[in-house]
């Protein structure tokens, strides 16, 4: 076969794992399809990319898409030779079978260009510099005089005033020219190896491992681990606890005071802050669920879901304070709910006293579980979703449309954006069902622990 072009995203995939790269060319159908969570990540990337470009009001977008790369290359070449635009977005370059679209190239006042890679994170990472190095080699090979290069991320210290985004303060530029320059030669060598690999008929023999999640979660993981998953399921079980561990749990649970309530929040974390006083990726609670245990009766349930596009926190905090009353323990599973309550205290100082009082009643069920089971030698996951079916075999999340917090956040954004009322209602129902299941799981775990201890 003719050697296909190696793009920068494929190069990054290949630098994570040669098998991943081989799959990209020979068996892309084996990848996990993009779900709403992944789609939300892509959408965030586009939103951040557009704002980064808005910092250059006279810049020009090379709009030809990936099916029209020849046109993109021609337009780029033409505009670079003219002095019309101070910056180009998505400029296309090719060199020796390698291809890249640069997020931003900026014309420098004293001649030459600055290459900027835009990332929708708040931290610069090694993989971003690798990405820059790949582009730098191509741009130079194509004849561009690149004199500076760096990564533009969101600035985690930026606080939105609720009026207008300050685009200069929202972003942070990380200069990386020297590091990227130093990597160019080895990147060129790696690219040569990858170009040869993708012409091979047989996949490289690579076993799954930690590299499957670093720097990105590989979409072929389910395929590569299909045999392992079955073996893990068969061996998953919580060991019996020794008397000393049972005592530890019993002692911890004895501090609970009735009425025992169980609390869970769902949050979303907009990359671009939407509410006054918030920062990029600050988690905002939009939904809570509470189950209250009653002796001999089914636990009572209540919840609150914020359905408007305004800041959910003031109304959510009012409803939370009402629903939790002033007595009894409030069980959570992990320290996340405590952190969210602290966030509410900071955002709503006029509610601080009531929220501090709730914070003082929190009881983290995860702690006795962690101490008891880690001491017993159990090394499996102790997350709520892992522990629930082990302690309460008839319970689980399989019947739900949403089964994790990231998906919940993505579906909430979708629900707020859709114009389809029916779809919106269905998404809201799914969200409430998921959060309700979390607090019901917490009830079952407390009860299972009480009976074990």
Q: Which residues bind ligand SF4 (CB under 6 A)?
A: 16-17, 19-20, 23, 206, 208, 211-212, 218, 220-221, 224
- Which residue's CB is nearer to ligand SF4, number 26 or number 301? 26
- The Cα-based distances of 203 to 25, 26, 29, 30, 200 in angstroms read 10, 9, 15, 13, 7
Number of neighbouring beta carbons within 10 Å of residue 406: 16
- Which residue's CB is nearer to ligand SF4, number 76 or number 190? 190
6 and 99 Cβ atoms separated by less than 8 Å:
yes
Query: Considering the complex, what minimum distance in angstroms separates the CB of residue 77 from ligand SF4?
Result: 36
Q: What SS3 state is found at 72? A: helix
- Which residue's CB is nearer to ligand SF4, number 30 or number 357? 30
One DSSP character per residue, 211-236 reads GGGSSS--TTHHHHTHHHHHHHHHH-
Query: Considering the complex, what minimum distance in angstroms separates the CB of residue 176 from ligand SF4?
Result: 25
Number of neighbouring beta carbons within 10 Å of residue 46: 10
Query: Considering the complex, what minimum distance in angstroms separates the CB of residue 203 from ligand SF4?
Result: 9
Number of neighbouring beta carbons within 10 Å of residue 28: 10
- Which residue's CB is nearer to ligand SF4, number 220 or number 378? 220
One DSSP character per residue, 88-99 reads EEEEEEEETTEE
Query: Considering the complex, what minimum distance in angstroms separates the CB of residue 2 from ligand SF4?
Result: 24
Query: Considering the complex, what minimum distance in angstroms separates the CB of residue 16 from ligand SF4?
Result: 6
- Which residue's CB is nearer to ligand SF4, number 26 or number 179? 26
Query: Considering the complex, what minimum distance in angstroms separates the CB of residue 29 from ligand SF4?
Result: 14
| Cα dihedral value 412, 417, 423, 424, nearest 10 | 60
One DSSP character per residue, 254-293 reads TT--SSPEEEEEEEE--SS--STT--TT--EEEEEEEEEE
One DSSP character per residue, 123-153 reads S--HHHHHHHHHHHHHHHHTT--EEEEEEEE
- Which residue's CB is nearer to ligand SF4, number 41 or number 206? 206
- Which residue's CB is nearer to ligand SF4, number 126 or number 157? 126
- Which residue's CB is nearer to ligand SF4, number 30 or number 276? 30
Query: Considering the complex, what minimum distance in angstroms separates the CB of residue 28 from ligand SF4?
Result: 12
Query: Considering the complex, what minimum distance in angstroms separates the CB of residue 229 from ligand SF4?
Result: 12
Residues 6 or more apart whose CB falls under 8 angstroms from that of 395 comprise 388, 389, 440, 441, 444
Decide: residue 206, CB within 10 A, 0-12 exposed, 13-18 middle, 19+ buried.
middle
Decide: residue 141, CB within 10 A, 0-12 exposed, 13-18 middle, 19+ buried.
middle
- Which residue's CB is nearer to ligand SF4, number 191 or number 224? 224
Query: Considering the complex, what minimum distance in angstroms separates the CB of residue 224 from ligand SF4?
Result: 3
């Amino acid at each position: 076969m003719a050697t296909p072009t190696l793009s920068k995203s494929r190069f990054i995939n290949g630098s994570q794992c040669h098998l991943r790269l081989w799959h990209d060319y020979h068996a892309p159908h084996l990848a996990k399809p993009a779900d709403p969570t992944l789609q939300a990540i892509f959408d965030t990337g586009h939103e951040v990319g557009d704002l980064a470009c808005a910092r250059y009001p006279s810049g020009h977008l090379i709009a030809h898409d990936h099916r029209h790369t020849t046109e993109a290359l021609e337009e780029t070449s033409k505009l670079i030779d003219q002095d019309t635009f101070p910056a180009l977005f998505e400029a296309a370059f090719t060199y020796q079978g390698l291809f890249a679209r640069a997020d931003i190239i900026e014309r420098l006042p004293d001649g030459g260009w600055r290459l900027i890679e835009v990332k929708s994170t708040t931290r610069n990472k090694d993989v971003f510099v690798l990405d820059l190095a790949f582009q730098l080699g191509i741009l130079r090979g194509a004849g561009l005089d690149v004199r500076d290069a760096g990564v533009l991320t969101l600035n985690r210290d930026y606080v939105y005033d609720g009026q207008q985004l300050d685009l200069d303060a929202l972003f942070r530029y990380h200069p990386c020219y020297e590091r990227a320059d130093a990597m160019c030669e080895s990147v060129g060598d790696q690219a040569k190896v990858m170009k040869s690999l993708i012409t091979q008929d047989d996949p490289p023999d690579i076993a799954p491992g930690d590299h499957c999640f670093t720097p990105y979660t590989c979409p072929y993981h389910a395929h590569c681990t299909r045999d392992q998953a079955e073996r893990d399921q068969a061996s998953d079980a919580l060991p019996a606890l020794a008397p000393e561990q049972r005592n530890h749990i019993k002692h911890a649970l004895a501090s609970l005071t009735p009425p025992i309530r169980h609390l869970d929040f769902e949050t979303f974390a907009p990359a671009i802050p939407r509410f006054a006083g918030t920062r990029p990726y600050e988690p905002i609670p939009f939904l809570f669920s509470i189950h209250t245990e009653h002796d001999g009766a089914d636990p009572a349930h209540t919840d609150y879901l914020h359905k408007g596009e305004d800041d959910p926190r003031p109304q959510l905090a009012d409803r939370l304070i009402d629903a939790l009353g002033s007595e009894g323990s409030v069980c959570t599973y992990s320290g996340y709910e405590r952190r969210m309550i602290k966030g509410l205290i900071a955002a709503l100082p006029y509610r601080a006293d009531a929220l501090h009082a709730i914070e003082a009643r929190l009881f983290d069920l995860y702690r006795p579980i962690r101490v008891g089971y880690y001491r017993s030698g159990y090394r499996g996951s102790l997350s709520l979703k892992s522990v629930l079916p082990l302690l309460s075999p008839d319970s689980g999340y399989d019947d739900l449309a949403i089964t994790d917090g990231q998906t919940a956040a993505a579906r909430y954004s979708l629900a707020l954006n859709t114009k389809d009322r029916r779809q919106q209602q269905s998404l809201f129902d799914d969200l409430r069902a998921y959060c309700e299941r979390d607090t019901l799981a917490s009830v079952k775990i407390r009860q299972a622990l009480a009976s074990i201890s």
